[in-house]
Amino acid sequence: MLERQKSTRIGTTVAAYRQPNPRMLAEVAAGLSAPQKELPPKYFYDHRGSELFEEITGLPEYYPTRTERALLKSWMPHLIAELGSRTLVELGAGSAEKSRIILSAMRAAGSAGVYVPIDVSASFLTETASRLRREYPGLTVEPVVADIAEDFSPPSDLPSPALYAFLGGTIGNFYPPAAIRLLGRVRAAMRANDRFLMGVDLRKDVRRVEAAYNDSQGVTAEFNRNMLLVLNDELGSDFDPASFEHRAFYEPVNHRIEMHLVSTLEQEVQVPGIGLVHFGKGESIRTEISCKHDRSSVTELFSAAGLRLESWRPDPEVLFALAVGVRG
Ligand code: SAH
Ligand code: AVI
């Protein structure tokens, strides 16, 4: 879906843009005309954005990935042996680096059948699928390029039981009503003996969580600005990423990190199909929320989506947790 296009700039003329995706154009138009400008975080993820996220996962300040990995390593061999999962359907799979822990547990239990990684980052997903086919020769890998906020349709007739997984704390990147709709679609696809495994980033000391989104090497800042390059490539807009500053802070009322791009000057940006977009000096675009949870907020989210929280496993420092849900 989000593929950076090879385009040629001739003076100020931009040649050879694809037809813009109408949904993207509508979302960007609505987001940039709101009083608080806002863009959906899925637009971070072209191939470069996916690479930058991978880089973030290895940063010393970014505790979620290594904490979730340790939780998966200690729990998955037991959980998968107990469930006998034959299919893994994963939302927002990315590089599937941690998914391999689940797939290896399925292989060890003799139950590895089908892996369905779903992601909006098309070419990155294709690469992930090819690598997995090489690493797990007996596994059927059926990647699906889709926006999980809009449509969620795993292939039918998957071997049962299935494990649906949504790792990394990505649920936190959705506003609660959208998160509930998304989980509701997972619930609708699940059969009685299927399970839903979700990674959630937990509420904690504000300094710890803010540091994870303000890393000292500036990778998160580059990831944030990448969204403007995605817009330039997809829509032919003329954002100058250097004129926007990365800002990330904890918003305690809604228990979430907010990431913004702040215009360092008064400027106008041309977005074909939308027109000139004005930015005052210091005006920002909110590019991401990352909601932090606890056991009771996850119980509520699940129950609003028709799921029941069956198991809850935080790490010893209570930074991150794995939650397992069943049809309620
Ligand atoms: N699950 C991986 C990657 C998390 S990064 C991990 O835990 O490390 C978030 C992933 O979700 C990215 O790969 C991104 O491309 C994907 N993603 C974000 N929004 C999405 C959407 N609306 N639909 C589908 N995939 C999405
Ligand atoms: C993918 N998602 C869970 C990440 C997060 O922490 O909300 C994206 C991210 N944004 C900045 N750093 C990482």
Per-residue model confidence (pLDDT) at position 62: 99
Q: Measured between alpha carbons, how far is 139 from 246 in angstroms, rounded to an integer?
A: 41
Which of 146, 266, 290, 117 minimizes the C-alpha distance to 209?
290
Note the ligand closest to the C-alpha atom of 143: 1
Which tokens hold the place of 159?
A: 């071997």
Q: Is 143 in the pocket of ligand 1 (CB under 6 A)?
A: no
For the Cβ of 120 lying below 6 angstroms from any atom of ligand 1, the answer is yes
CA–centroid distance for 12 within its chain = 34
Where the chain has pLDDT below 70, the residues are 1-18
Nearest alpha carbon, ligand 2 atom 7 = 290
Quote the pLDDT of residue 18: 64
Strand extents, DSSP E, 143-283:
144-145, 162-166, 195-201, 244-251, 256-263, 267-271, 275-279
- Alpha-helical runs (H) found in the chain: 22-33, 47-57, 63-83, 99-108, 122-135, 176-189, 206-212, 219-235, 295-304
Q: Looking at residue 37, what is its pLDDT?
A: 99
Which is nearest to 61 in space by CA: 192, 291, 257?
Answer: 257
Residue 32 CA to residue 144 CA, distance in Å, equals: 29
pLDDT digit string, tens, across residues 170-193: 999 999 999 999 999 999 999 999
> Is residue 46 within 6 Å of ligand 1 at its C-beta?
no
CA distance linking residue 281 with residue 290, whole number of Å: 25
Distance, CA 315 to ligand 2 centroid (Å)?
19
Tell me the whole-structure pTM to 2 decimals: 0.95
320 lines ligand 1 (CB under 6 A): no
The finding on whether 45 has its CB within 6 A of some atom of ligand 1 is: yes
The closest residue, in CA terms, to atom 18 on ligand 1 is 42
What atom of ligand 2 comes closest to residue 257's alpha carbon? 7
| Tens digits of residue pLDDT in 15-66 | 445 688 999 999 999 999 999 999 999 999 999 999 999 999 999 999 999 9
Would you state the pLDDT for residue 5?
43
